Chains A and B, each alone.
Chain A
Amino acid sequence: MLGLTEFDKSLLNLLQGSIALSQRPFRDMAEKLGSDEQTVIDRINLLKENGYVRRIGAFFNSEKLGYTGTLVAVSVKPDKIASVAEAINKYPGITHNYERECDYNLWFTLLTPDSETHDRIINEIGALPGVEKLMDLSARRKYKINVRFNLK
């Protein structure tokens, strides 16, 4: 894998913050880095190819788009975990699904456009063979969402 240069770290730190809403956003970014547009574009593409970047784009506040999010924990019989996890993964509104060190061994996030869809999915998952218990842990308040790492 490509090692990160000092330039890459500065570039990634800027890129994690904000891409300008302008006609030539990477020229603006290049100016801040004392570089030029083409260098910045080439380097970002290289960093992407080398697997440093999960996604570059817009990240939305799901509530403000009319969606409701929740975190769901299920307790699954150990021999059924793969089949339950795979069934859960099929729902497009479920974006994260992790097996965790806990008696509630599967944890997933669910985004739905209305409460009918939410209730239907929760009921369907609760009825999957091997699911023993389910907790729907809706958020009362979100204090922080900031997946940003300072590269030094």
Chain B
Amino acid sequence: MLSELDKRIVRAMQGDFPICAEPYKKIAQEVGIPVELLLERLTLMKEQGQIRKLGAVLRHREIGFSANVLCVWVVPEERMEKVAANMCLNAAVTHCYDRNTMPDWPYNFYTMIHGSSREECEAIVDELAIENNLSERRLLFTLKEWKKTSMSYFTE
């Protein structure tokens, strides 16, 4: 598990990254450690995969990807690996998860698909269905965004 120092670093890095000439120096001062140590810990956290990405996530509507849909699929277990690998290759698919099912909910594969319009999202789903030879699927379009934030770790 994470050391107390790494938890302090996570807390300092989960907000807005300073956009200035020496951003890590600013964060290091906040954490109360030398910048060299901060860079060393961050490099290690990136190598070990605790940090997935250090960069920007854009507002997709503002850059022309105004529609998105959660598409859930029934994928036969024996084909899961292959179908997942193939779907991941598609740039319009941003998330791919294998999830457990429920008695009245047979869908075991979840994809988030982004496009410029609802019609484009539907067309991408149709293509994915043909490419992967999948028949059962459901498109769950968003009616309202009630909440969308970033997680604050180690604050409880």
Chain A residues at the B interface, C-beta cutoff of 8 Å: 1, 4, 12, 15-19, 21-27, 37, 41, 44-45, 48, 51-62, 64-67, 71, 73, 85-86, 88-89, 92-102, 104-108, 111, 113, 135, 137-151
A93 to B150, CA, bound (A): 9
Main secondary structure of the interface of A (DSSP, over half): mixed
Q: List chain B residues, Cβ under 8 A from A19.
A: 17, 54-55
Q: List chain A residues, Cβ under 8 A from B14.
A: 57-58, 60
A25 to B20, CA, bound (A): 9
* A92→B105 contact, CB < 8 A: no
* A15→B10 contact, CB < 8 A: no
A32 to B152, CA, bound (A): 32
Main secondary structure of the interface of B (DSSP, over half): mixed
* B155→A61 contact, CB < 8 A: no
* A56→B17 contact, CB < 8 A: yes
* B19→A52 contact, CB < 8 A: no
Count, chain B residues at interface, CB 8 A: 73
For the complex formed, measure the closest distance between the CB of B150 and the CB atoms of chain A, giving whole angstroms. 6
Tell me whether B151 is interfacial, beta carbon within 8 Å.
Answer: yes
* A140→B99 contact, CB < 8 A: yes
